[in-house]
Chain A
Amino acid sequence: MNSKQSGRRQFLKNGAALAGLAAGAITPAGATPPAPESVDQLHAYGERSHFESWTRKGKHLWPPEGASGTRDYGFRTPLQHQLGMITPAPLHFTISHGHEPTDIDPAQHRLLIHGMVDRPLVFSLDELKRLPSVSRFHFVECNANSGPTGPTGAARRAPTATLQETHGLTSCSLWTGVPLSLLLQQAGVQKSATWMIAEGADPPKHLKSIPIEKAMDDCLVAYGQNGEAVRPEQGYPLRLIVAGWEGINNVKWLRRIKLVDQPYMDMRESTKYPSLRLDGNARWFQFELGPKSVITRPSGGQQLAGPGFYEISGLAWSGGGAIRRVEVSTDGGKTWTDAQLQDPVARKAHTRFVFPWEWNGEEAVVQSRSTDERNEVQPTRDEISKIWHIDMDYYNTSTNLVGHFNAIQPWKINRDGSVLNALFL
């Protein structure tokens, strides 16, 4: 045995001893090596550590649990635990209007493009994968995310609400696929086509009407999500990604695109997604989501250990493009200071921002405000109330679900280090 081998063996022995010590003293479960026969399994498709236990939270839309307000709009992402700007695919929020994914065999799946085109086309998944591909970071957000009214309003307004409850209906992935514009050019869109409808292969055939300008702009027919196939609950094997627009546009299990000359007024787009205001008028087809941001740490339900240094960290995004600026206030909105944006800063994607902060142990209210590349600035709750012509009573009493609520989110830090949702405190 040469000295090099001996040294290595000694190191391993010491390491084992140290690990054993740590195991006995602190975390017995963590130091238990896996049984040899399970190692192959462990390495076949990785699992996170069982110490990392957070999950999506939500309820099926079907059957609804009753009219008591417990009904939820899907499964929410634990954004308070997310690191960086990518949401792990297994934690990406999901709303399928209560319908679970059909088990689609990718070999049988087809995408049909027809209607006002010169050359109707059918593509198999293999054929789509032969075409020029792109990968882009994009968020997908439910238009009702962070909305303070309607069936989920009470949970969102509660001082004890966590970030998962207030903002858990947005997630960000690296989507890989074929630009929709390329497929539409292949089919030859006729001049009379001013809209397209996109339809899924789910039993109730979810459908969304999308103006041709957007279809030819930055939509993706995605088969990839964060380096692997799109997850079943996200639309396997094909999902339409309509960057920056209300989540409902991102049709899952995509199987048909028809070029048409008017929107199809599908039940959801024409009766569930319009924002009804107190004047009795409803805005439909609002499409683009405005600039939003939220501090993910510290956030509702978390606990600061005591005075001292904490990095404030959060996410900012806008349907209008890239985030240009995020400002943070730690004094209830009196003063604002620029936070640092972390790369990558992508268009219509979550952007991670960080801000160094020393907590002095006194009550504090921390919040963030984003500005996008069009210089749209995230509004306060009161600014939105003014635009909507509503008062505080409306938030507390309205059963009307109103989307596109992108208000600045304040978190209050109490002297004991507990963190509360302060939007309605």
Chain B
Amino acid sequence: MRCFYKLVVFLAALTAGTAAWAQAPNYKNVGRAPTPDEIRAWDTAVGPAGKELPPGSGTAKDGAEIFADKCAVCHGPAGEGSQMAPRLVGGKGTLKTPQPVLTVGSYWAFATTIFDFINKAMPRGQEGSLKPDQVYSLTAFLLYKNEIIKETDIIDAKTLLAIKMPNRDGFIPPQLADIHDIKKRGCRLGHCP
């Protein structure tokens, strides 16, 4: 009998737990379903899987013109940086020094990050104004200037994802799936000194 009672309690707890995880809405008429258009309009950030990459393409050659027109004023004609904006090119071999030069080529781990940041945050003051072809072209230009691709290589949603950045393995932990694991992050408790 006692066993039966325990079983009932256990099942009740399980049901309650299941209900909680099923996550049925508890608060009536608070919030609504977005339309697909509403989601599409905002769902523009591009992750490493590139799912959100728009159609389009470009080469470094196309990108050079756009860079000269829209970017060089701050980043310098060759991406060498200025007082206005960081250097984008070079820095190879400096990471193990007290004066590391952290650029797209020497440091960045994902080519999608280049596309994503130009797409949403550049040029400063005109964020979001570039068309997908222009963003692909500028991405190609920076990859070319950092000797990662050839000047004529076409960058699009497919070729962008195939690029392995030179410093991709320079981060701890190297695998994104391991970031959840405190030990693999090299942390003591939660804090990673």
Contacts and interface: CB of A to CB of B under 8 A. Distances in A.
A131 B31 CA distance: 10
B7 interface: no
A404 B42 CA distance: 33
A414 to B, nearest CB: 32
Given A255-B42, A376-B189, A399 B99 contact: yes
B172 A199 contact: no
A7 interface: no
B18 interface: no
Interface stretch (B114-122, B131-139, B141-149, B153-161): B114-122
B27 A131 contact: yes
Given A186-B31, A319-B191, A376-B191, A270 B45 contact: no
A121 B192 contact: no
Interface in A361-419: 374, 376, 379, 384, 387-388, 393-394, 397-400, 404, 406
Interface in A121-167: 121-123, 127, 130-131
DSSP class of A's interface residues: helix, strand, loop or mixed? loop
Interface string B175-193: 0110110000111111111
Contacts, number: 188
Contact of B171 (A279, A282, A376): A282
Contacts of B84: 63-64
Given A271-B102, A399-B98, A320 B190 contact: yes
A211 B177 CA distance: 10
DSSP class of B's interface residues: helix, strand, loop or mixed? loop
A205 B38 CA distance: 16
A333 interface: no
Nearest to A111: B31
Interface in B1-44: 20, 22-23, 25-27, 30-34, 38-39, 42-44
A56 interface: no
A398 B124 contact: no
B163 interface: no
B170 interface: yes
Interface residues of A, number: 76
B171 A400 contact: no
B67 interface: no
B102 A114 contact: no
A119 B25 contact: yes
Between B48, B49, B99, B192, the greatest number of chain A beta carbons within 10 A of the residue's beta carbon is seen for B192
B54 interface: no
A186 B26 contact: yes
Contacts of B124: 62, 204
A131 B30 CA distance: 8
A267 B190 contact: no
A400 B193 contact: no
Interface in A20-44: none
B191 A266 contact: no
A320 B180 contact: no
A251 B161 CA distance: 28
A383 to B, nearest CB: 9
Given A266-B116, A319-B190, A284 B32 contact: no
Q: What band does the interface of chain B fall in when counting residues whose beta carbon is under 8 Å from A?
A: 35 or more
B119 to A, nearest CB: 9
A87 B93 CA distance: 44
Given A255-B42, A288-B192, A112 B27 contact: no
Contacts of B171: 274, 281-284
Contacts of B128: 203
Contacts of A288: 187, 190-192
A359 interface: no
Given A186-B25, A320-B191, A64 B185 contact: no
A197 B47 CA distance: 10
B193 A267 contact: no
Interface string A264-307: 11110011001010111111111111110000000000000000
Contacts of B57: none
A258 interface: yes
A399 to B, nearest CB: 5
Contacts of B31: 121-123, 127, 186
Nearest to A113: B31
A211 B192 contact: no
Contacts of B170: 280-282
B44 to A, nearest CB: 8
A188 B20 CA distance: 10
Contact of A264 (B23, B34, B45, B102): B45
B38 A112 contact: yes
A174 interface: no
A118 interface: yes
Nearest to B49: A262
Given A199-B45, A283-B192, A121 B116 contact: no
27 contacts: A112-B34, A114-B39, A120-B33, A122-B34, A123-B30, A127-B30, A187-B23, A197-B45, A205-B44, A256-B42, A258-B45, A262-B176, A267-B116, A270-B109, A274-B171, A276-B102, A278-B96, A281-B170, A282-B107, A283-B192, A288-B187, A288-B190, A288-B192, A320-B190, A376-B189, A399-B99, A399-B100
Given A263-B179, A319-B190, A320-B190, 18 more contacts: A63-B83, A64-B84, A112-B39, A114-B39, A186-B30, A188-B22, A197-B45, A255-B42, A262-B48, A264-B45, A265-B113, A266-B113, A266-B117, A271-B113, A283-B171, A286-B192, A319-B191, A400-B100
Which 8 A-B pairs have CB atoms at the shortest separation, nearest pair first?
A: A204-B121, A290-B191, A398-B98, A267-B117, A264-B47, A280-B96, A288-B190, A188-B23
